[in-house]
Amino acid sequence: MVNPSFHLYQLQKIDLKTDTLFRRLSEIDKIRNDNSSLKALEQMLSVKTKDLNVAQAAYAITVEKVRIKKLKIEQSESSLYSGAIKNPKELQDLQTEIHSLNLSVARLEDIQLQQMVDLEEKEINLSVVNQALEKCTGELTIKYSSLLSEENEKKNELDRLIQEKKVVLDQVSAVNLEMYNVLRKSKNGIAVCSIEDGCCSACGATLTPSDCQAAKSPIQMVSCHTCGRILYAG
């Protein structure tokens, strides 16, 4: 027969591995749900798209204004040179109007040129964000695929440990299991510690020879007199 601490020690190894698996699975789930970088780029894309749309609309309005004024200039020049207007005052007013329209067109064309430069800059900015978004999406796809693969591996390992734990639990009495669970909660997950060079491996306290010997007994368990954990003599 072996000391009851043997089975508890095996149980603890399984539980510690299980704890690690659960922590990693929780991390994977957190990573998978954290798409803040993608959302930030999508938000930026929305802003840049809106900026471009506004700039395009403003440019279209300017183009239309230029078209209308140039059409008015053509009509006025046609009237001016048609010979239909004989009154000098009317001819002078028409010439003044044409001059004013040409000045207005020149100003609008300057605005139009600046708008074209602005449009080009906004198109470049939108393209940069689009490329960043595509890159981020591709990287996340690869990352999520890798995480899914790791998650499946961890879950398979977890299933295996659950089966191992069932076998070990069959060897542990209800009283010892309760003691073990209480210690696990109060001792940061470590209820059983091995004896190494006559010392408790958890707290480092020196053990008496009788404690070391008793830890090998098949009929009793010994606890560390300092930290209170169950001692296991491997």
pLDDT at residue 165 greater than cutoff 80:
yes
Span 100-110, average pLDDT: 97
Supply the DSSP symbol for 143: H
Whether residue 11 is found in the same domain as residue 39: no
pLDDT at residue 1 greater than cutoff 80:
no
Rounded Cα distance between 192 and 182, Å, is 11
Last residue of a domain, one of 153, 188, 209: 153
Whether residue 18 is found in the same domain as residue 75: no
Rounded Cα distance between 227 and 217, Å, is 20
Q: Considering its fold, how many domains does the chain have in total? A: 2
Give a yes or no: residue 82 inside a domain.
Answer: yes
**What range does the domain containing 181 cover?**
4-25+173-232
**Residues 60-77: tens digit of each pLDDT:** 999 999 999 999 999 999
Per-residue pLDDT band for 152 (boundaries 50, 70, 90) equals: very high
Whether residue 77 is found in the same domain as residue 112: yes
Whether residue 114 is found in the same domain as residue 95: yes
Q: How many residues does the chain have?
A: 234
Give a yes or no: residue 102 inside a domain.
Answer: yes
Span 106-120, average pLDDT: 97
Whether residue 181 is found in the same domain as residue 120: no
Rounded Cα distance between 133 and 39, Å, is 9
Last residue of a domain, one of 91, 119, 153: 153
Say what the pLDDT of residue 229 is: 96
Whether residue 17 is found in the same domain as residue 41: no
> Dihedrals φ, ψ of 13, to 5°?
-60, -40
Whether residue 41 is found in the same domain as residue 108: yes
pLDDT at residue 5 greater than cutoff 90:
yes
Give a yes or no: residue 200 inside a domain.
Answer: yes
Whether residue 140 is found in the same domain as residue 183: no
Whether residue 54 is found in the same domain as residue 148: yes
Whether residue 45 is found in the same domain as residue 100: yes
Whether residue 20 is found in the same domain as residue 41: no
Say what the pLDDT of residue 88 is: 87
Mean pLDDT of the chain: 95
In this structure, which amino acid lies at residue 24?
R
Contacts of 102 (CB under 8 A, 6+ apart): 73
Whether residue 69 is found in the same domain as residue 45: yes
Give a yes or no: residue 168 inside a domain.
Answer: no
